[in-house]
Structure 1
Amino acid sequence: MEGVEHRIVKVNGINMHVAEKGQGPVILFVHGFPELWYSWRHQISALSSKGYRAVAPDLRGYGGTDAPDSVTCYTCFHIVGDL
């Protein structure tokens, strides 16, 4: 997708893929299960063109983000803590 910057950030012991575009106040897009940042591509494009910074991470275990082996690493506390 044109103009979207991709980066990896270290958070809570994992590498998290984040897609972002635009400048201004941040809008955080959180995908559902089992989806990816790409689910928000149309909203990212539209809102970044309106002066917002659209940020869409891949949650742990999805897309370009690390997938820890243990099921205990996927509690709501881990997922929210990553954000």
Structure 2
Amino acid sequence: MNAFTDNTQAQANELTHRYVRIDGQRIHCVSAGSGRPVLLIPGWPQTWYAWREVIQALAARGFQAIAVDPP
């Protein structure tokens, strides 16, 4: 492994929780990684947690994975 791979893996393991306000709705989202964004939307009644392993796998491959909770 090289420094780039180590850094990408570290970003994949770091989950960032945020709340954003869209049209008056407060939306919780979780993201990891950097690069081209990939939006993950769970089906009802699931939450971002259903995507937890996918978020880390995408982030490890150079994407910014973003999962949202349905309002």
TM-score (norm 2): 0.80
Structure 2 alignment gaps of length 5 or more: 1-12
Higher strand share: 2
More relative contact order, 1 or 2 (CA 8 Å, 6+ apart): 2
C-alpha distance in structure 2 between counterparts of 1:42 and 1:32, whole Å: 16
Is the counterpart of residue 54 in structure 1 residue 62 in structure 2?
no
Q: Alignment length, in residue pairs? A: 59
Runs of 4+ with >6 A deviation: none
| Residue number among 27, 34, 45 corresponding to 2:38 in the alignment | 27
Tell me the alpha carbon deviations over residues 4-35 of structure 1, each in whole angstroms, 9 at most, x when there is no partner: 00011010101110100000001100101110
Q: Is 1:43 the equivalent of 2:48?
A: no
- Secondary structure in 2 matching 1:48: helix
**Aligned residue for 1:6?**
17
- Superposition RMSD on alpha carbons, in Å? 0.8
Q: List alignment gaps of at least 5 residues for structure 1.
A: 61-83
User: Which amino acid counterpart does residue 36 of structure 1 have in structure 2?
Assistant: T
